[in-house]
Structure 1
Amino acid sequence: MNNRIQINMPQDVAYIINTLNQNGFKAYLVGGCVRDSLLGKAPKDWDIATDAQSENVKLMFGKIIETGIKHGTVTAVIDSYNYEITTFRSSSSISTATLKDDLRLRDFTINAIAYHPNEGIIDPFSGIQDIEKSIIRAVGSAKDRFREDPLRMLRAIRLSSILEFEIDSQVLSSIKENCDLIKGVSQERIRDELSKILTSDRPMNFVILKETGLLKFVLPEFERCFDTEQNHPYHIYNVGMHSLKAIANIENNLVLRWTMLFHDIGKPVVKTTDQNGIDHFYGHPEKSVHIAEKIMKRLRFDNKTMNKVLRLIKHHDRRIEPYCKPVRKAASIVGKDIFLDLLKVQEADKKGQNPQYLEVRLEALSKIREIFFDIEKEGQILTLKDLALNGDDLIAMGFEQSREIGIILKELYNIVLDTPEMNTREKLIEAIGNLKKERFRT
C-alpha cells in the first residue's frame, strides 16, 4: 500500500466511490485508469471495482445500464459520462471475492493496481515496479491468463506499442505456445486490437505478431508478405517489412495505416521474375484490393472505412506526371476527396523503399501536391459536378434520352479536363454544337 501517491480523479468518480463507501461497501479505482494516472497520462475511462453486488449498485445511482450484469458489471451514467462499476471477481465466486482476488484475475501487473483516495495505492503484484521498468508482465501464470481470454495475447502487443514498454520474455514464450487460441476470439475484437497496434507510436511492433505466431491466425494473407522478397532496384525489404516501414512513415490515421498494411498484400500472388533475376508484381494493386476487401469484410469493418481503404489501395501505384493536365486527370479519376491522402500513401510507400531514389521521387510528389492546390484554388474542374452545364440544362436544350445526356456530359467533361478555360456555359453550348456536327458527319 502506498499512501503518498495521489490520483486526481473527476468529481463524478469521487462521488461514486463515496456513495458506495457511505452505503457500507468497498470501492476502488482499478485497471487502466490507475496505470495511466501513474504514467502521467489522462485516462480515457474510469473503472471502479467494489464488493457491492450489481443489485445494490443499481439502487444507489439514478441511471444504470446493465452492460455486463452476468459478469457483475453495470454502467452508471452521470452528466452524460459512463462509468463502469464491477463487483469483485475471483476464480471461484463473485459474491465472496476480495479486491486482491479481483486483481489476481487481471491480465498484466500494470493493470492490477487499485487506488482509493484514503487508502492510497494497492499493488499486490508489483505493478508499479513494472511500470518503472517499462515491462509488460502477466499476473501469475501467463498461460492461465491467456486461456481465460486469448485476446490478451494481442493486448500485450498493443500495450507494448501504446506505452512503449517491452514484453516480458515469459509472456512472449506463452504467446508462442498458445497462439492458436486466438482462433476462438471474435473478429471484431481482433480488429479493434490490431487497429490500436497500427495507430500506436510503435506500429513496427506489428512484427511481433509474426514472431509469436499470432499473425498466421489473425492475418494469414499478410504473413505471406514476409516470405516474399523483392529483388528490384527500388526495394531493399521483403513485402512485409516494406509495408511496416511504410506504416511507420505515414501519419497516425486509421484509414491510412490500414491502407499501408494492405497496399501490397497482393504481391505474393502475382510475383514474377524476369530473365535477369528482377522481380515484378504486375497487377498487384487490383489483387491487393481483392484480398483486402475479403479481409476487411471478415474483420467486420464498417463500409465507409473499407471503401476508402480500398480506393486508396487501388490507386496507390498510379503514376502521375507533375504537370497540370496529368494532375487534373489523375484527381478526376481518383476522386478529389481522397487525392491528398493518396499522395500521403505514395510518399509513405516510397519512404519504405530504397532510399537511393527517395529525394527525386519526393520532389515530384511535392510538385504534384502544389499543382493540385493551385487547381483547387483556381476552381478548375475535377468532377462532373464542376461542369458549368448539367443534365437539367441539357434537358432544357431539348435532349431527352438520359443515356444521351450522360454521354454528352462525359464528352464535355473530357474537353474541360484538357482545356479548363472551356468551362463556361457559352463555350460548352458551342462545344455541344460542334459535337452534333461531328456526329452528323459520321
Structure 2
Amino acid sequence: MFAFDRADFGPGFTFGVATAAYQIEGGQRDGRGSSIWDTFSATAGNVHDGDTGAIACNHYELWPQDLDLIRDGGFGAYRFSFAWPRLIPEGTGAVNPAGLDYYDRLIDGMLVRGIKPYATLYHWDLPSTLQDRGGWMNRDIAGWFADYAALIARKFGDRLAATATINEPWCVAFLSHYLGVHAPGYRDIRAAARAMHHVLFAHGTAIDALRAHGAKNLGIVLNLEKSEAFSDSEADRGAANFGDALFNRWYLGGVLKGQYPAEVLQFLGEHMPSGHEKDMEVVSRPLDWLGINYYTRGLYRATGKPSQPVEQVKGDLEKTESGWEIYPQGLTDLLVRVSGEYTKIPLYVTENGMAEVEGENDPRRVSYYEDHLKAVLAAQAAGADVRGYFAWSLLDNYEWAEGYRKRFGLVHVNYATQERTPKASYRAFQGLLHNGR
C-alpha cells in the first residue's frame, strides 16, 4: 500500500495506465498492414532473441479482460495507441474496415466500464510502405499524418477524452535515425535532422486536422530527462547543457515556443531541411495539455570530439533492470521547470515505471511508484499544474529492441499461455484508488 491518499492529488486528478499498440496487440491479420517494427524485428541482430510483436500480449483478442483489469484496479483512464497500419494498411489511401471495427469495440468497451480513452495517434509503428517513401525523412509525411489524424477524428473523436499526436518524438527521430537503436535503424545525421523537424511539423499538421474535424483536448507526449553534469568542470557543465538542448529543449522549445535551441541547430548545420523556419508556426500550434514521460536522468560528460560532443555515463544511483537510474527528484524538477519556463497548460505524467524481473511480487516497483507519486505531489506543491499520472505499463509486453526480456507491467503476462496475473504493484494502486473514480 502507498503511504498517501488519492485525495492528496486534488479533485479530478486522473489515474491511468498506458500501453502501445505494437507492444501488446498482436493480431497481425484482418487486413492489417506491415509496420517498420515488423521489418526491423525480422532483421537479425536488431532485437533481443529476434523477438517480434506478431503475438505480443494478444490484446487484439483479449482486450475485454485487459479492460476489466483496468477497471478493477480503480484506474479511471486508459492511454492506448492506434496502429496506423491496422487502420490504413498502406499508410495512405484505402481504410481497413476490420481495423475500424476493432477500435470501435475497444473504445466502446472502455466507455461501458467507465474508463476514459486517452488516445495516441502514433507510437512508433509507421506503415512500411511509408518508410519505403522516406518515412520521417520525407516532408510529405506531414500530409500523410494529417490525413490519418483526420480519419481518427471523424471515426472516434467524439468518444475520446484526450488525443495525443506523437509519443516521444525524440525516440521517433534521434534514437531511431541517429543512434539506430529503434526502427528504422538509421545512423545518419542528415536523416536525424530531417526526422527531428518533420516529426514536429507533422504533429502541428495533425493538430490542425484534428481541430478541423471537431476533436477536443489535444496534446503531445514528450519524453524528458533531468540532464545533469558528470562533474562540476566547465566542460561537463557545457556537455549537460548540450544534452538538455538535444533531449529536452528541442522538443519543448519547438512545440511550446516555436524555437529550436541554437546549440543543436549549429550541430546539425546544413543537414536541417531548407526553410524549416517557415514551419515553426505550425510546429507550435496551441495545445490543451502536455504529456511528459519520465524514467531517469541523463548524466553527461564532454568528449572533445566535434562529431560527438558529449556522452552519457552511468551514475551511482540505484538502477532498474534496464540499467536506468532511479531518480524521483528529476520528475519533480522537470514538472516544475516546464510549468515555470514553458507553459501554463495542464501537465500529465503520461508514462512512468520500471523494468524488473519478477513474478507476482515486485516490491522495488511498489517503492518506485510510491517515490515518483510523491515527486508529483512535490511538483504540485511547488505550483506545477499536474492533472494526471499514467503508470507504464498495464501489462508486461514487447519492449522494442529489448524484446520480451524486460518486464514493466503491473500485471504479469505468461507469454506462452497469455495468462494475466496482477502483481503487488497493481494491488498497491488498487488500494490507493479504492476501485473508485
TM interval, shorter chain, is under 0.3
Q: RCO (CA 8 Å, sep 6+): is it higher in 1 or 2?
A: 2
| Structure index of larger Rg | 1
Indicate the structure with greater helix content: 1
Indicate the structure with greater strand content: 2
The TM-score with structure 1 as length reference comes to 0.25
